[in-house]
Amino acid sequence: MALLPARTDTKWFHNYIYQQPSVELIFLKGRLKFGDGKNSAPFPSMLAIFSSLEGRIEMLLEQQKELMDAAGKAARWIFTETGGDYEDTPWRELVNAIAKIKKV
């Protein structure tokens, strides 16, 4: 569980919190005030509750699939652009690395 600023307009919120299968959000009403402090926080807050390991694994596998799809597209583009003769180009290492990962 994490107490976070409710910054719904930021990249980190959309990349790591919003609509993730293993994250439940609770938006807190008002602004938090700690202890005897005179002022409240200058931003709204939320609780992000991260669910089970199974949920995190599901999310990571989905992200891995997206990365592999992108890597496959990159490899196809390289193959097309070089006419299949990429061995003597800077792309050789990348294409071979993608091929190894895809076999796993």
List the domain range (segments joined by +) for residue 97: 59-103
- Residue 12 has a CB neighbour count (10 Å cut-off) of 10
Do 7 and 47 lie in one domain? The reply is: yes
Judgement on whether residues 12 and 47 belong to the same structural domain of the protein: yes
Tokens at 7, concatenated: 């910054």
Instruction: For 39-94, write each residue's pLDDT tens digit.
Output: 888 899 999 888 766 767 777 788 888 888 887 788 778 778 777 777 777 777 77
With CA atoms as reference, report the closest residue to 63 among 20, 28, 94: 20
Residues 2 and 59: their CA atoms lie apart, in Å, by 18
Q: Do 46 and 79 belong together in one domain?
A: no
Q: Is 72 helix (H, G, I), strand (E, B) or coil?
A: helix
Point out which residues pair with 45 in neighbouring strands.
Answer: 5
